[in-house]
Structure 1
């Protein structure tokens, strides 16, 4: 039995892509799977950042067949941040980091890293396994996004140059890259034409066929995911709701997810009955919260400062499709291409769409019941034919088999 060790530097251990999809798929396919995951302030944490204070307290345990090995997030940072130092110092100064140390103890055949810094730990593991044990191990980099993002204004140009320089050094030792969109795959091939790269979309397992929406009084828009009060999404939700409630009867805006742990958002009194917060729900319960949704909304308006936004096909995108929900999105290139290709939603033709722009689109679509129904049917059909996790799982397992 091949042993797989998944390396995680920042994500929650129950992350839908890492645990629910990939780790579980590998386990079901017969691999022995271990995850090395961070504790923050001593605790593992949920997908909304809330610490698990009354469970998952053991340093090592098994959950749903997956072996979980934990380490201190805080103690790992000083080692992992040495990725920007000279390569000839890495072994002495950086690779005694907790992830690499624990990874070597697993003596796995394949190591699968999920972030830039866990890739760095994986490079240390691959080198030291060869040097100390004479064992050639395989290393996969699961690139959820581009790091560094060439447009990210939070980093100076020298910092981005240094991060990219080190990434290209590390990629020379990677056996396979998995990523989440065709645009990111193309970026890697522009940099390293012969790099093995496969796209495994962030799509969920195929949900039970959605029931045909019966005539109902309300018209429901949905947003799935995290909301931060200081960012623009929630202000737009308020703005869209204020405009739509003035011209549409029984308009509803449902948020599946919401603020992260420790954060709050304020809903104006006038919209208390319009904006519904479900809170964070179990992965498998998303479908029931989308059963009566008419449109799924995504707004990626920070395109000038984020190439990742332009290249993204996020979890929520496929979640809407999976439940037969047409997508409403601004002019974010990768999503725009997909929506127009498959006719599964509507694109507001602006990179920076306002609440009024989205509200006008919603009001228009509200009057186009037949069109909405057709887009919803196409959304579900393409998931069944090409994009559900059942299809993505085959891609993932093919990567492993070809190693």
Structure 2
């Protein structure tokens, strides 16, 4: 427990206020530990949720408007809080962090992404601009980060930020849930959770309904209506077996969790095309699938294979090999094999839960403030 009620402020201009990592994991954990937590974030109103005071920012749909407007708004709202420690989550807020350092504040930069590779896979940036911009941003980010305390959400980010503290993005599951009901019958049902994008396998997953004549694929997470149309076009006459739960809207984890609990899933999907940005990531959805006893079908990136096949909790395949995808889909549809993979995942997931990361976060805060 915190020794005194220290006021700390978390800042984001790019994530929704009720973001799973920022709000439900970090802010709620800090508030329960005795800190007075304020979150300045895009939201519809000022309110207190689970002991966290949310100060709203405008919700901008236009990125350029957000980039030009929110940093200044964030700074003035933040400095009014008169906190000792500020914790920000977006690279666009690096100038805000530097300004707060000039005021003598302790500033934490929470690095969610490998932004150098992330920039190169942004669909809204022309490839030539992305290739030119990424290394320049990388150098500037590393220089600026030396002014801050650093938290990283993935192990491999330590190569760029060797003095950082790992607070990994493991799922927050207070008690291991009952396993999702396994699907039985001739119509396998596959689930994908999280943001739906081309680089996260949207087109590969949509094609599954063409590969298996009775399969359903459910997408539980934000997906633009434009991408929905592309995926339905790929499915063609089989589009009625694609289901989208989150078109043009953000889904809080509580809603995603309700889909897991609904059960009757054959397997969880993460068949991503070979994009450098994802090769070394340990996706949070892997651990969620494990917790709910779902076999996993994922791309055969080395880090993913070590995690998934190392725990015998799923199958990793070449995302460009259609025959391998079909074979994997058939394999997880066999009840005995699916049951074994699901049990192995549930046995392993205890090593990958938020509770252990929460202790690291609280210890880090204690070291900075006391």
Which category describes the TM-score, using the shorter chain as reference length? 0.7 to 0.9
| SS of match in other structure, 1:380 | helix
**How many residues were matched structurally?**
345
CA distance in 1 between partners of 2:17 and 2:321 (Å)? 35
Kindly state the Cα deviation for residue 11 of structure 1 after the two structures are TM-superposed.
1.0
Q: 1:363 to 1:17 in 2, by over 3 A?
A: same
Residue in 1 that maps onto 2:140: 166
Shift of 1:311: 2.3
Aligned partners of 1:239 and 1:263: how far apart in 2?
Answer: 14
Q: Given the superposition, is the C-alpha separation of residues 366 and 394 from structure 1 closer, same or farther in structure 2, using an over 3 Å criterion?
A: same
Distance 2:34 2:77 in 1: 22
RMSD: 2.9
- Deviation, 1:187, is 3.6
Does residue 140 (structure 1) correspond to residue 114 (structure 2)? The answer is no
Instruction: Please give the alpha-carbon distance, in whole angstroms, between the structure 1 residues aligned to 2:20 and 2:137.
Output: 27
Secondary structure class of the residue paired with 1:277: strand
Asked if structure 1 preserves the Cα contact closer than 8 Å seen for 2:208 and 2:215, the reply is no
TM-superposed CA distance for 1:5, in Å, is: 0.7
Report the 3-state secondary structure (helix = DSSP H, G, I; strand = E; otherwise coil) of the residue aligned with 2:269. strand
Q: 1:276 aligns with which of 236, 243, 264?
A: 243
Find out whether 1:107 has 2:82 as its counterpart: yes
Indicate which of 351, 358, 361 corresponds to 2:328. 361
- Trace 1:28-39 onto structure 2 (pairs within 5 A): 28-38=32-42
> 1-side partners of 2:116 and 2:203: how far apart?
28
Q: 1:396 aligns to what SS in structure 2?
A: helix
Q: Quick check: 1:178 aligned with 2:151? A: yes
In the alignment, what sits opposite 2:218?
254
Q: C-alpha separation between the residues in 1 aligned to 2:289 and 2:182?
A: 18
CA pair 281-170 structure 1, distance change in 2 beyond 3 A? closer
- The structure whose Rg is larger is 1
Report the CA distance between 1:223 and its aligned residue: 0.9
CA distance in 2 between counterparts of 1:251 and 1:76 reads 41
Structural mapping, 1:6-155, within 5 Å: 6-38=10-42, 44=43, 56-57=44-45, 60-72=46-58, 77-78=67-68, 97-127=72-102, 129-130=103-104, 137-149=105-117, 152=120, 154=127, 155=129
For the 8 Å contact 1:236–1:354, the answer to whether it is kept is no
Calculate the TM-score normalised by the size of structure 2: 0.82
Long gaps (5+) in structure 1: 39-43, 45-55, 81-94, 131-136, 190-194
Q: Runs of 5+ in structure 2 lacking a partner? A: 122-126
Provide the TM-score with structure 1 as the length reference.
Answer: 0.76
Secondary structure in structure 1 of the residue aligned to 2:310: helix
CA separation of 1:227 and 1:147: change in aligned 2, threshold 3 A: closer
User: What is the distance in 2 between the residues matched to 1:34 and 1:234?
Assistant: 36
CA contact (8 A) 1:3 1:108 kept: yes
Task: Give per-residue Cα distances to partners, 1:154-197, cap 9 Å, x unaligned.
Answer: 4455533331222122121112x2222222223422xxxxx132
**Aligned counterparts of 1:69 and 1:379: Cα–Cα separation in 2:** 39
1:214 and 1:319 map into 2 onto residues whose CA distance is: 15
Q: Which residue of 2 aligns with 1:387?
A: 352
Give the match for residue 343 of structure 2.
377
